[in-house]
Structure 1
Amino acid sequence: MKQQGLAFFTDTHLTAIGLLIFFGFFLGVLFWTLRKTQKATYDKLAQIPLEGE
């Protein structure tokens, strides 16, 4: 079963390019999320569940 599924992944260049694209996207989202310029916004959003009505 595994061998039959992997038989279609013969073009390793496309597989490597896809891996690099998705890894780059992951790093981009990670860096965008952890920016220091948005710390005040994240701190404010973190307090929302603790606020009472």
Structure 2
Amino acid sequence: MINIINSIGLQVLANVDLSNKFIYSISFNIVKKTSCAIFYANRTKAFFD
């Protein structure tokens, strides 16, 4: 019985870990894209000034 509870707990922990990594990678990609867009916008603005 304890083993079953432990394995369920481990599965839940693994699922939480996976979803955290998924959310982290998505937010990291969004930050990377927006910072790249801001960087290029500033560069083109400086180029056309």
TM-score norm. by structure 1 comes to 0.51
Equivalent residue of 1:34, what SS? helix
Partner of residue 37, structure 1: 35
Quick one: which of 9, 12, 21 aligns to 2:8?
12
Tell me the TM-score normalized by structure 2.
0.54
Residue-pair matches, total: 33
Superposed CA RMSD: 2.0
After the TM superposition, list the runs of 4 or more consecutive aligned residues in structure 1 that deviate by more than 6 angstroms.
Answer: none
The structure whose residues are more often helix, as a share, is 2
**Structure showing greater relative contact order (alpha-carbon pairs closer than 8 Å, 6 or more residues apart):** 1
The equivalences for 1:16-27 within 5 A come to 16-27=12-23
Runs of 5+ consecutive residues of structure 2 not aligned to the other structure = 41-49
